[in-house]
A and B are shown apart, each in its own frame.
Chain A
Amino acid sequence: MDTRPIKILVAKPGLDGHDRGAKVVAHALKEAGMEVIYTGLHRTVDQIVRIAIQEDVDVIGLSIMSGAHIPITERLVKKAREEGIDDKMVVVGGVIPVRDVLRLKELGVKGVFPGGTPFSEITSFINDNAKKS
C-alpha cells in the first residue's frame, strides 16, 4: 500500500495579495497529513506550472480572491496540458460566485471551494480524489 502523503501545491496566481485564505487552508492540509508547498504571492501561471513539475505534486490548488479566477484557470489548464501534466488534479478556492462553479468544472477543475468551505470538506475531497503519480 502506498503510504506516501499526498503532495499539494497551494498557489497564489496573479497580482492579488490576499493570502489569508491560502495560508489557512495550507495549515489545514498540513494538519490533515498532506505535504504542502506554498508558492508565495504574485506567481504567473507559467511559474506555478514549473513549480508543480519541479516538486512533482499530485494536486495544484489555486487561491484567487480578485475575481479573475476564470481567465487565470483557463491559462493554467492550457499550460498544464502543454507541459503534459494535465493528469494532476486542479482545485480552486477563494471568492468564487456560485454561477462560476460550473464554468470552472467545464475547464477541468475537479473541486471548487469558495471561502467558508469547511476544512474537512476540502481535505476529504482531496484525499478521495487525488491520484498519486
Chain B
Amino acid sequence: MGVAKYTKDEKDRITDVTLQSGIHVKACYGPEDLEQVGFSYEKDLAAPGQYPFTRGIHAEGFRSRAWTTRQYTGFGTPEESNERFKLMISHGQTGLNVAFDLPTQMGYDSDDPMAEGEVGRVGMAIDSLRDFEIAFKDINLEKIGSGLTINAVASIMLAMYQAVAEKYGFDPKRISATPQNDILKEMIGRGSWIFPVEPAVSLIGDTIEYSMNVLPRTNPVSICGYHIRESGATPAQEIGYAILIANAYIDNVLKRGYDVDDFVGHFSFNLNVFGNIWEQVAKFRAARKLWARNLKEKYGVKKDSNMYLRGLFGGGGYGLTKAQPENNIMRGAYYALSAALAGAQTIALCSYDEAYTIPTPHSAILSLRTLQLLMDEIGLRDTVDPLAGSYFIETITKEMEAKIEEEMEKVEKVGGIVRAVATGYVQRLVSRQAYEYEKGLQSGELKKVGLNIHTEGEPMDVELHEYTGESAEKQVAALKQLRRERNDREVQRTLKELETATRAGKNVMPYLVESCKAYATVGEMARVFRDVFGEFQEPALF
C-alpha cells in the first residue's frame, strides 16, 4: 500500500485513503471532480510538448526517444569502476551515473586522516586527473553522457571531466556531463556540504556561467528533490523545495548579467520515486507544469524548450527494505513503471541489495533489465502520457499542484529558501516528518510488505558486494606515486592562481581546469576553497 494511509472499518472496507502529501483519495472520480478543482484542458493539460508540459516535454514522448538508463555506479579504485562502467555499457546502459566515495565528495585526498576507512567504500576514489584517465578509459565521452554525483566539489569534478575529455581528444563542446552540483539539498539532506551557503551557491553559479561558454552540452546543475525526500520530505515538499532551490541558482547567475534564456534550459532535476504510484505520477505532472509556469511568469523565459523540466527519476532507496530483500526487485519494477508513466527522461533504479550495500554486478544488471523490459516488452513507449484525461489523475494532479504551492509559500514566509536552509527551518520540518513516518511504520499504521505485514518466512542470505581495505591501499600508493612524478612547481603555480582568482571573486572554473591538468589533487584544490571560504556551520537541531 505504499506510503499512503489507509483507514478501514471492521469489515476491512477502506473508508479513507490519504496520500503522504495530504491529498485524500475518493473511491470514485467523475467529470464533477474536474469541475470542482477548476480543471481547464487548455490551461492545465494541453497537448504533449506544449506549455505547460503537464503531458511531457516532447510531442511524441517515448516514441521519439526512450528514456536514458543510467544506473548509479562506482566503487573502489578507478580501475574497478572503469570495469563496472564498461560492463553496464556492454549490457545496453546508455549513460553513466558516477558514484564517488565520501573523501572525494568531501574534498579530501585518499591519504588524509579524515579519509581513513572510507576510501573507495561507497563510490570510487578520485584524487587527481590520473584517476579520471583510468576511470574513463575506452569510454566515448562524446557518445555517453555522465552524471557526476558530487556537490560541494562539483566545480572541481566538472573541471576534471573537461580535462580528461581533452586529454583523450574529445571536443569539450560535444561532451555532456551532469554534475549534481546542488548544495542546498545537501544541507537539507545527505550532508555532503563543505562551504558556507553563499560561496557554495556562488560556486554553482560559476559552473553554470562557465558551461554556457565552454561546455554547451553540459547540464551544470541537477536539482535533487531526490535526497530531500529520502531525508523525510513529502512528495509535495520535494518539488516545492526543488523549485525554490533552482530559483536561488538562477538568481545567482542573473546577478552576473546574463539573460535567463541563455542558461536555464540546461538545468536538470533528480527526483525521487517510491511509494504510492498515483501520487508519484501526479507529482511529476504537477512539477513539470509548475516549473514551466515559474520560469515563464517569474523569470520571463521566452523559449519553450527552456521551460522543460528534464529529469532523472530515480527508484528511491528509501522505499526498499532490508527485510525480505528480494521484494525490492518487484518494488523497483513498480517504481520504474511510475517513472515511465510520468514521462521521465532518464531513469535509474536502486538495486535490491542496496538496503545492505552497493550492488553486485548481478543485481545492477537486474535493475538495468527491469528498465529495458519496460521499454521494449510491455508497451510503455506506445503512446504519450497514457493516463491523461483520467478524472482521477487530472484531479489529483491539480490538488498536488496546490499542495506544492502551499509548501513554497511557507518557505517564502520565513525569508526564502537560502535563509530557511541556513537557519535549519527546512531541516527541522523534514526530520520531524521522517520521525512521524518511522513511527507510522513501527506502529503498522503505514503498511510495508515483509516489514510489518506478510513477514512470514526465514531471513534470506544476500550475496553482498565485498569491501576490502585492499582498494584503499592501492589508491593511497597510487596517490603517493603521483606526488613523486608530477611537476610540483606547476602544481603550486596553478594552485596559487586558483587562490588569487577565488579571493578576487572571479569565476574559478578556468583555474580549476589548469590545476587539474597539472595533476593537483582534489584535496589541494578543495583546501584552497576551505581557506578562502571557511566551512558551513550546521544549525544544531533535529
- A residues bordering B, Cβ < 8 Å? 10, 12, 14-20, 22-24, 26-28, 36, 38, 40-42, 44, 66-68, 70-72, 95, 97, 114-116, 118-120
Contacts and interface: CB of A to CB of B under 8 A. Distances in A.
Contact of B467 (A67, A114, A120): A67
B118 interface: yes
B114 interface: yes
A120 B443 CA distance: 11
Contacts of A24: 232, 431, 434-435, 438
Contacts of B464: 97
Interface string B100-126: 001101101000001111100110000
Given A14-B102, A15-B102, A44 B114 contact: yes
A27 B442 contact: no
8 contacts: A15-B105, A15-B115, A24-B438, A28-B438, A38-B540, A66-B102, A66-B122, A97-B464
Contact of B103 (A15, A17, A19, A20): A15
Contacts of B190: 17-18
Given A27-B435, A66-B121, A67-B467, A20 B232 contact: yes
B322 interface: yes
B399 to A, nearest CB: 27
Nearest to B464: A97
Contacts, number: 92
Interface majority SS (helix, strand, loop, mixed), chain A: loop
A68 B118 contact: yes
Interface residues of B, number: 40
Contacts of A14: 102, 117-118
A26 B435 CA distance: 9
A12 B191 CA distance: 11
Minimum-distance CB pairs A-B, first 8? A17-B191, A68-B117, A71-B117, A15-B102, A27-B435, A23-B542, A23-B431, A40-B538
A125 to B, nearest CB: 15
Nearest to B323: A116
A119 B439 contact: yes
Contacts of B541: 38
A126 to B, nearest CB: 17
Interface string B431-458: 1101100110010000000010000000
B231 interface: yes
Contacts of B451: 116
Interface in B139-191: 186, 189-191
B435 A23 contact: yes
B127 interface: no
Given A68-B117, A95-B356, A18 B439 contact: no
B191 A118 contact: no
Interface string B395-419: 0000000000000000000000000
B230 interface: yes
B268 interface: no
Contacts of A97: 356, 464
Nearest to B462: A97
B407 to A, nearest CB: 19
Contacts of A95: 356-357
Given A19-B191, A66-B122, 17 more contacts: A14-B117, A15-B103, A15-B192, A17-B192, A20-B431, A22-B542, A23-B434, A23-B542, A24-B438, A42-B106, A66-B102, A68-B118, A95-B357, A97-B356, A115-B322, A116-B322, A119-B439
A78 to B, nearest CB: 13
B226 to A, nearest CB: 13
B193 interface: yes
Contacts of A114: 322
A70 B321 CA distance: 23
- Find the residue from A10, A24, A28, A70 having the highest chain B CB count within 10 A: A24
A44 to B, nearest CB: 7
B118 A15 contact: yes
B542 A15 contact: no
Given A20-B189, A41-B191, A44-B114, A68 B121 contact: yes
A26 B434 CA distance: 11
